[in-house]
Each structure stands twice: as structure tokens, then as C-alpha cells.
Amino acid sequence: MSTGFPLRDGRMAERNGHSGRAHAAAIGGVVLVAFFAGVIPLLLVVDVPDVGRSWAWTLTIGVAVWAGVRLSLLIVAGEARLFDFFFWLFVYIFMGLAPTVQMRSGLLSTTTPGMNPDLDVPTAVIVWIGLLCYELGRLAAMLRERTLRAHQGGTLGAERAGHRVTGVSRARTLILLALGVVFSAYFVLKIGVGTLLSSRDTAFAARQAAWPDPATRSVMYALAIYPLLVGVGALAAVRRRADRHRALYLVILLAATVLLLVVVNPVSSARYSLGTVWFALIVYAGAMLTARRRRIVMGAAIAGLIFVFPIADAFRRVTVDVTWDGFFGEYKGSPDYDAFWQIANAYSFVHDGLVVAGQQALGMLFFWVPRAIWADKPVDTGILLANYRGYPFTNLSAPFWAEALVNGGVIVVAVAFLALGYLLRRFDTRLVPAFADNGLWAIVGAIFPVYMLILLRGSLLQASGTVTIAVACILFVAQSARAGRDATAADAGRRLALRLPAPRPRLADRPRGDPSRSPTSRSALPPSGAPSHPSGDDARGRPGGS
């Protein structure tokens, strides 16, 4: 039997454990990079012959490679940097794989016909400008964090905020849930349960008949979803901290979740809305609490958007389409992947001198102003570009690049992506510690990173109402600063109490405060010549007595 130094042995075991985990992470990183940045792009080139439309596909496949590297590193790190993750997931699919397949095959999105091949290369360059500026903005935020960390004792204010804002108001949470139930129930009664579970086309026609105005229709749909979705997350946080009524809270959570899943169901709901709700519910259930869970969830999100999203519409229409043209065939001619071509249309819009600087941004900021008051209020950027090109179908996307272009050109693209990279890094810095504490930022992290797929795809004007409602719901359930400090202090006290050892029992026959009975009192010592062994009572009163 070895009689070494336990402390040294423990440190060696800890070092070996860290070394083993680092080795496994390195192997996992190599495998993921090889798959997402190597195997999939290589299979694309082999499987999809190049018809010679343009050489811009070499730039877009480079986008896919770089985005694949970034996604792989995020998964290996196992941190909850979800804003950055979903940004690169969007880029990987919509700016990398999809346009590469469409350019090599010559089968562009059917909703953007007649695209000039001369626009392909400038469009790909604009995409790269946005990505490089995003990385520069993110790097600037990281350098600022490093500087602040050095001056603030190793902890950033944003990280402390992630830990500090841990509470939600129980009373406001219950009020929001009640309002959410009212809005959702009204929506279900107005549309009909049977209609909601029939097909997407039927459900959309019913919504259109109920609320003919598109802005009103969008707001009503958001009110049917986000008060309930935010309320479920807030009540889950309340329940985790509650000492009483946990069973009642669980019943309310289950009932609210069922109603939410009727409103947002796989049959009639838009895939982005469905993904947002499902992802949020998974996060509420604890999917972000460990590195292993985070890696699984991020891997599942990639698999879902790559493999499930393209075919998710097959059984949601009146006419079921079960044709299969291979994995990359799902991108050929698909109207779901018109984002790259809408950037090309926006560049053409700029080239023709039609830009009115900031006009579309004003429409987004003042989305709530009725058109009866603001007659020339801007339309969605997707509709603007569709009208510019004379397309019969106008419900098109307008990715963030296109939104920036129509608001001022390539310079605005660079500035917008610098700001986006900086802000998303700051948001992620708050998210990393927040999930463990089930706070307000944990609810933000459950909803907004995946919803960012909608924002990146555009149009921003179309999504402004939904974002405003979701933000208002989150702010409504926030605890006041004083209540938050009290809750944090109480929670810290409970955690400290759990860590402290149990108090040792007091000496049975020695009242506190009696110095004459103290073991250290001189009068308690036996007189000279007396037996040195204790009496029975004294033996029972001392530790170790029998």
C-alpha cells in the first residue's frame, strides 16, 4: 500500500483529468471541423456538377468552410454562446451551402427569377465584408473584456450582471401567464382547433380572414405566443426557487405549455416560430446547465436546420410532396433559400441609385404607426425589393446584408456588422453565467438567439412587432432591483448554509456562560491527590466519554 502525499496525489489526478478532457476536446474539435468544414463542402462539390454560371461559388463555399470551423469550435467549447452560434448557423446554411448549390446547379430560388450572373461575385464579396466586420466587432468586444477583466479582479460587469439578475417577479409572472392564456385562447377560438391542426395553408387563410391587415395579423399571432412563452420560462424559474406550491406551479406550467403547443404546432406554424418555441422549452427544461447538454443541443440544432428544415414542409400542405432529390437537391430552386439573391437585388437597388438613406430603418423603428397616419410608410424590405424587380410573389426574405444595403450601401453593411459582432459578444457574455442561476437573461437566452434566425433572414420591419412584444414581456416579469438584491442575498445564504458543516452538539451538563463549569476553569481541576480519572457524569459530559 502506497503512503504518498494525498495532496500531491490529488493534484496529479486533477491534472490528469484536465489533460484527458483537453485531449478529448481536441479530438472532438478535429472531427467536427473535418465534418462541417471538410466533408460536407467536399460532398457538395462532388454531388452537384458546376454548370458554369459564375465562379462566385468558390467564395460562398469558403463561407461554408469558415462558418463550419466556427460552429465546430463553439460546440467543442461547450459554452452557452448562443447568439454567436445561431449567427454562424444561419451563415453556414443560407450564405454558404444553399447559394453554392444553386450557383453550381444553375437552379436558383424560384421566387427570385432572372438574376444576372454578373451580380454573383459582388454579392459574395458583400457577404464576406459583413462576416469580416462581424469578426472584427466581436474581437473588439473580446479585447475590451480582457482589459476590463484585468482592472476588475477577473470578473466582468456583464458576467456579474448575469449572476445578479437572477430573479423574476412571481406576481408579475402569474399576471403575464393569465394574459397569455387569454390571448392564446382567443386566438385558438378565433381560428379553430381543427383549422390549426389541418394544414399550413388552411390555417394561414383563416388568420388572413380573421385579421386582414398584415400588421394586425402579425401582432395578434405574437400575442398568442410570446406572453405565454415568456411566462412559462419565468414560472419555471420561480418554481426552482420556491419552497412552497411547487406542485401547483408544475400543473400551471404543463397546462400553459399544452396551450402554447396548440397555437404553435408542427402542422400549421411557420418553421422558424416552431423552432423558437421548441428550443425555448428545451432550455427551460435545463438543456443549458451542463457542457455536455449544451453540446448535444447545439449539435441537434445544426442537424435540425440542415436535415429536417428542408423537408419539414412536405406534410404541412394540402398536397403532400414526398419527392427526394438527395440531400443537396433540397436547396436547388427552393424558395426557402432566396436570401443570397435578395442581397444581389439589394446591391442592384443601390447600384441604380434608388437608396434613400435610413428610410427603411425609420419604418422599422416606427412600425407601430398606422398607414392611415403615415401614408408613405415604408413596406417590408423584402416587398420593396420584389416590387423593384417586378416579381409577382412579394413575400420574400431580406437578410441583414440587404437591410443594411438599402439603408445606405456597402458602408452601412460594414458598420452594421461591426456593431452586430460587438453586441452579440456582449450578450453572450451575460448568457454564459445566467443559465445556471435561472435568471432573466436565461429567458432571453432561451428565446432570442434562435429567433435571431428570423431577424437575420428578414425582413426586420416584419419582425419588429414580435420583438417588441417579447421584450416587453421579459421586462414585465423582471424583479425590481431591491427585490432582486434581497432574493440574491437569501439565495446566497441558503447556498452557504448547505455548504457549512452541521453544528457540534453542546456539552450536555454544562450550561453556556457558566465559567465555573468550563473545562478550562482552574476550579474545575481536581485537587492535589485526587484521582485523575473523571467521574461518570464528567465522562458523559466530555467529547469522547463513554
pLDDT digits (tens, 9 = 90+) for 419-437: 999 999 999 988 888 887 7
pLDDT for residue 72 is more than 60: yes
Cα(530)–Cα(518) distance, integer angstroms: 19
pLDDT band at 5 (very low <50, low <70, confident <90, very high): very low
Cα 413 from Cα 130, distance rounded (Å)? 6
- In Å, what is the CA distance from 396 to each residue of 237, 380, 402, 460? 38, 9, 12, 12
135-140: long-range contacts, CB 8 A cutoff, minimum separation 24:
135/421, 136/418, 136/421, 137/417, 137/418, 137/419, 137/420, 137/421, 137/422, 137/423, 137/425, 138/84, 138/421, 138/422, 138/424, 138/425, 139/421, 140/418, 140/421, 140/422
Q: What is the pLDDT of residue 372?
A: 76
pLDDT surpassing 60 at residue 79: yes
Rounded distance, CA 180 to CA 232, Å?
10
The band of 60, judged by pLDDT with boundaries at 50, 70 and 90, is very high
| pLDDT of the residue at 505 | 52
Listed in sequence order, the residues at least 6 apart from 259 whose beta carbon sits closer than 8 Å to its beta carbon are 181, 184, 185, 188, 228
The reply to whether 371 falls in a domain is yes
Q: Grid coordinates 403575464 are at which residue?
A: 176
pLDDT for the residue numbered 483: 54
- For position 315, what pLDDT does the model report? 54
Cα–Cα–Cα angle for 239, 243, 244, nearest 5°? 80
User: Which of 229, 164, 190 is CA-nearest to residue 489?
Assistant: 164
Identify the pLDDT of residue 247.
Answer: 86
Q: Quick check: is 527 in a domain?
A: no
pLDDT-based confidence at residue 44 (cuts at 50, 70, 90): very high
What is the pLDDT confidence band of residue 53, given thresholds at 50, 70 and 90? very high
More confident residue, 132 or 498: 132
Report which of residues 457 and 543 the model is more confident about. Answer: 457
In a domain, 501, yes or no: no
pLDDT band at 474 (very low <50, low <70, confident <90, very high): very high
229 pLDDT tier (thresholds 50, 70, 90): very high
What percentage of the chain has pLDDT greater than the value 70? 77
Q: Which of 81-85, 190-194, 288-292 has maximum average pLDDT?
A: 81-85
pLDDT band at 93 (very low <50, low <70, confident <90, very high): very high
Closest CA to 457 of 393, 533, 402, 391: 402
Q: Which among 202-216, 281-295, 308-322 has the top mean pLDDT?
A: 281-295
User: CA separation (Å) from 204 to 98, 190, 195, 542?
Assistant: 27, 12, 9, 81
* pLDDT bucket at 525, cuts 50 / 70 / 90: very low
395 or 542, higher pLDDT:
395
Residue 405: which domain range?
Answer: 23-489
- Cα torsion 272, 276, 278, 282 to 10°: value is 150
Contacts of 142 (CB under 8 A, 6+ apart): 425
Q: What is the mean pLDDT of residues 41-57?
A: 92
- pLDDT of 524 above 70: no
- Give burial (CB, 10 Å; 0-12/13-18/19+) of 142: middle
How large is the average pLDDT for residues 464-478? 91
Q: Which amino acid is at 321?
A: D
**Would the pLDDT of 390 be above 60?**
yes
The per-residue pLDDT for 149 is 75
- Which residue do the cell numbers 392564446 mark? 184
Answer for the pair 484, 475: CB distance below 8 angstroms, yes or no. no
Residue 470 pLDDT: 93
Q: Is the pLDDT of residue 535 over 50?
A: no
- Is-contact 357 349, C-beta < 8 A? no
The Cα 417–Cα 420 span in angstroms is 5
Residue 521: inside a domain: no
Q: What local confidence, expressed as pLDDT, does residue 29 receive?
A: 74
pLDDT of residue 78: 84
Of 83-92, 291-300, 357-366, the range with the highest mean pLDDT is 83-92
Q: Are 382 and 342 in contact (CB under 8 A)?
A: yes
More confident residue, 287 or 121: 121
Q: All 3 cell numbers of residue 375?
A: 401614408
**199 versus 140: which is more confidently predicted?**
140
Q: What is the pLDDT of residues 16-30, one digit of tens each?
A: 555 666 676 678 778
Higher-confidence residue: 24 or 533?
24
Instruction: Write down the pLDDT at residue 472.
Output: 94
**When comparing pLDDT for 394 and 164, which is higher?**
394
Q: Quick check: is 504 in a domain?
A: no
What is the predicted pLDDT for the residue at 480?
Answer: 65
Kindly report the average pLDDT of the chain as a whole number. 81
Task: Identify the H or E element spanning 298.
Answer: helix 291-303
pLDDT at 135 over 90: yes
Question: How many domains are there within the chain?
Answer: 1
Rounded (10°) CA dihedral 27, 28, 29, 33: 110
Residue 230 lies in a domain: yes
Write down the pLDDT at residue 361.
85
Q: What is the pLDDT of residue 538?
A: 41
What is the distance between the alpha carbons of residues 398 and 124, in angstroms, rounded to a whole number?
15
Q: Which of 120-124, 166-170, 238-242 has the lowest mean pLDDT?
A: 166-170
